[in-house]
Amino acid sequence: MHESGHIFAIINSGKEISKIKVNAFSIDIEQNYSCNISEKKELFILLCGPFVNLLFFIIFSVLYKTLNFDIFKIFSIQNLIIGILNLMPIYSLDGGQILLIFLKRRFNINIADKILFIISIIFIVPITTLGFFLIIKSNFNFSLLILTFYLISLFLKKIK
């Protein structure tokens, strides 16, 4: 659902999608970079993924309140978490790319990249620490630590 928001925004912005690659941990949408778009359209593309998650959070919440099926509650919470997670200012996430757009307005690309790198580390370290704390306190709940390793792998992939 998240990526469908990005795809809709890319098409709506007049950009062409050259390839969509699906792998075990992510979906990569390769755009035709020969057609340049404005910062506003780029921000629109980046925000549409989390917006779709928020929209589905609301839809599934209403369905849960109306029909009282637990599956709708699970779907609503999942969409809320995915939307919030993607807005975090970590390099490989939508929030990181949004922050990079704003940093490039003020700094050259090299300095903006370094600032975003530092901010990403500042966010990843406490999440990792919390993940280890969760393992100890919750009888081996690895979910946050798995998420952290996923974020770190995306981060390392993006900075290469």
Same domain for 146 and 114:
yes
**Residue 73 and residue 9 share a domain:** yes
At residue 138 the predicted structure's pLDDT band, cuts being 50, 70 and 90, is confident
Give the model's pLDDT for residue 15.
Answer: 81
CA dist., res. 90 & res. 154, Å (int): 9
Are 126 and 80 members of one domain? no
Domain of residue 160: give its range.
107-160
CA-CA-CA-CA dihedral for 55, 26, 82, 133, to nearest 10? 180
Residue 144 or residue 140, greater confidence: 144
Same domain, 42 and 120: no
Average pLDDT over residues 135-157: 84
Structure tokens of 35?
A: 């057609």
Does 114 fall in a domain?
yes
pLDDT in tens, 52-80: 999 999 999 999 999 999 999 999 999 99
Mean pLDDT of the chain: 89
